[in-house]
A and B are shown apart, each in its own frame.
Chain A
Amino acid sequence: GALVYQYPRRTICKSGTSMRMECQAVGFQATSVAWYRQSPQKTFELIALSTVNSAIKYEQNFTQEKFPISHPNLSFSSMTVLNAYLEDRGLYLCGARRDRGKRNTLYFGAGTRLSVL
Chain B
Amino acid sequence: GDSVTQTEGLVTLTEGLPVMLNCTYQTIYSNPFLFWYVHYLNESPRLLLKSSTDNKRTEHQGFHATLHKSSSSFHLQKSSAQLSDSALYYCALSLTNAYKVIFGKGTHLHVLP
Show the binding face of A for B, using Cβ within 8 Å: 4, 32, 34, 36, 42-44, 46, 49, 51, 93, 95, 97, 104-111
- Chain B residues bordering chain A, tally (CB within 8 A): 22
| CB under 8 Å from chain A, chain B span 59-90 | 90
In B94-112, which residues have CB < 8 Å from any A CB?
94, 96, 99-106
Bound CA span A85–B103, Å: 24
Residue of B nearest to A102 (CB): B47
Determine if A44 and B90 form an interchain contact, defined as CB atoms under 8 angstroms apart.
yes
Q: Separation in Å of the B39 CB from the closest CB of chain A?
A: 9
Q: Are A44 and B43 within 8 A (Cβ)?
A: no
Check if A43 sits within 8 Å of B44, measured CB to CB.
no
Q: State the total of A-B contacts with C-beta under 8 angstroms.
A: 47
Known contacts A106-B101, A108-B46, then 20 further A-B pairs from the complex at CB < 8 Å, ordered by chain A residue: A34-B100, A34-B101, A36-B103, A43-B90, A43-B104, A43-B105, A46-B100, A46-B101, A49-B100, A95-B101, A97-B99, A104-B33, A104-B52, A104-B96, A104-B99, A104-B101, A105-B35, A109-B44, A110-B42, A110-B43
Known: A93-B45, A105-B47, A110-B43. A43 touches B94 (CB 8 A): no
Chain A, Cβ-Cβ closest to B32: A104
Q: Which B residues, 16 to 67, have Cβ-Cβ distances below 8 Å to chain A?
A: 33, 35, 37, 42-47, 50, 52
Question: How long is the Cα–Cα vector from A105 to B52 in the complex, in angstroms?
Answer: 12
Question: Using Cβ atoms and an 8 Å threshold, which residues of chain B touch A42?
Answer: 105
Lowest 9 A-B CB distances belong to which pairs?
A44-B103, A43-B105, A108-B44, A108-B45, A110-B44, A104-B33, A32-B99, A43-B103, A104-B94
